[in-house]
Chain A
Amino acid sequence: MKKQKRSARHFGLKALLLLLSLVMLFASLSACQAPADTGGTTVEGDKDSYAGRKLDVLFMVGGQGQMADPILAKLEEVLPGLETTIVYDHKAADILRRRVMADDPPDIFDVNSGFYDYYAAISEGVCKPLDFLYDVPCVDDPSKTLGDILAFPMMTFGFVDGKHYCMSDSIFTSGLWYDANMFKEKGYAVPETWDEFYALGEKAKADGKYLLSYSTRSAAEYFYQYWFNPLLTTLSLEAFGKTQNPAADSWSDPAVRKALELTKDLVDKGYVETMSGTLVITELQMQFCNGNILFYPCGSWLEAEMGDNWPDGFDLTYLPFPTQKKGEASYLHVTGVVSAVSAKTKNEDLVKEYYRYMLSNKETMEKVIGITMNGLPVKDFSTNFGSLLPSSTASSWAAIDSGRVIGYRAMAPSFYPSLGPVINDKISGLTLEGTSVDEVIDALNGIYAQILADDSITKREYDLSSVMEALANYNATK
Chain B
Amino acid sequence: MKNERILKASKQQHQLSEVVLSLKRQKRQRYFFLFYMALPGLLLYTIFRFIPTVLGLVISLFNWRGTSMHMTYAGLQNYKTLLNDPIFWKAAGNHLYIFLINTAVVFTFAILLAALLSSKRLRERGFYRVLFFFPSVVPAVIINVLWMSVLNPNIGLLNGLLRLIGLEGKSWLGDRTLVKNTIIFVMAWKSTGFYMVLFMAAILNIPTSIFESARIDGAGNIRQTFMISIPLIWEHVRTSLLFFIVTSSGLGFNVIFMMTNGGPNRASEILTTYMYSVSFGGESRYGYGSAVAFAILVLTSLMALLIMAVTKREVYEY
A14 to B68, CA, bound (A): 44
Q: Does A20 contact B (CB under 8 A)?
A: yes
Residue from B70, B265, B280 within 8 A of A115 (CB atoms): B280
Flag if B36 contacts A115 (CB, 8 Å): no
- On whether the beta carbons of B264 and A278 are closer than 8 Å, the reply is yes
> Is A117 a contact of B65 with CB atoms below 8 Å?
yes
Interface string of A284-323 (1 = CB under 8 A from B): 0011000010000000000000000000000000000000
The distance in angstroms between the C-alpha atoms of A13 and B32, with both chains bound, is 12
Name the segment of B115-123, B169-177, B193-201 touching the other chain.
Answer: B169-177
Is there an interface contact between A421 and B68, defined as CB atoms closer than 8 Å?
A: no
Determine if A432 and B282 form an interchain contact, defined as CB atoms under 8 angstroms apart.
no
Q: How long is the Cα–Cα vector from A401 to B260 in the complex, in angstroms? A: 40
Asked if B264 contacts A433 (CB within 8 A), the reply is yes
CA distance A298 to B169 in the complex (A): 27
Confirm or deny: B44 has a beta carbon within 8 angstroms of a beta carbon on chain A.
yes
Taking CB atoms, residues of chain B closer than 8 Å to A24 are 40, 43-44
Sort chain B's interface into a size bin.
35 or more
Cβ contact within 8 Å between A456 and B283: no
Q: B282, A115: Cβ atoms under 8 Å? A: yes
Q: Is B263 an interface residue (CB 8 A)?
A: yes
C-alpha gap A279/B280 in the complex (Å) = 21
User: Cα distance A5–B36 when bound, in Å?
Assistant: 20
Interface residues of B in 63-85 (CB under 8 A from A): 63, 65-70, 72
| Residues of chain B contacted by A417 (CB below 8 angstroms) | 282-284
In the complex, B93 has a CB within 8 A of chain A? no
B238 within 8 Å of A (CB atoms): no
Interface of A is mostly: helix
| Contact string against B for A residues 424-448, beta-carbon threshold 8 Å, 1 for contact and 0 otherwise | 1110110011010000000000000
- A115-B282, A279-B152 given; A100·B68 CB < 8 A: yes
Question: In the complex, which of the residues B65, B175, B261, B284 contacts A217, with contact meaning CB atoms closer than 8 Å?
Answer: B261
Q: Which residues of A contact B282 (CB under 8 A)?
A: 114-115, 117, 417, 420
Chain A contact residues, CB within 8 Å of chain B: 10, 13-14, 17-18, 20-21, 24-25, 28, 93-94, 97, 100-101, 114-117, 120-121, 124-126, 216-217, 274-280, 283, 286-287, 292, 417-418, 420-421, 424-426, 428-429, 432-433, 435, 456
Known: A28-B43, A287-B154, A428-B263. 12 other contacts (CB 8 A): A17-B39, A21-B43, A24-B44, A124-B65, A217-B263, A278-B260, A417-B283, A421-B87, A421-B281, A425-B266, A428-B264, A432-B174
Of all A-B residue pairs in the complex, the 4 with the closest CB atoms, nearest first, are A278-B174, A120-B65, A428-B265, A17-B36
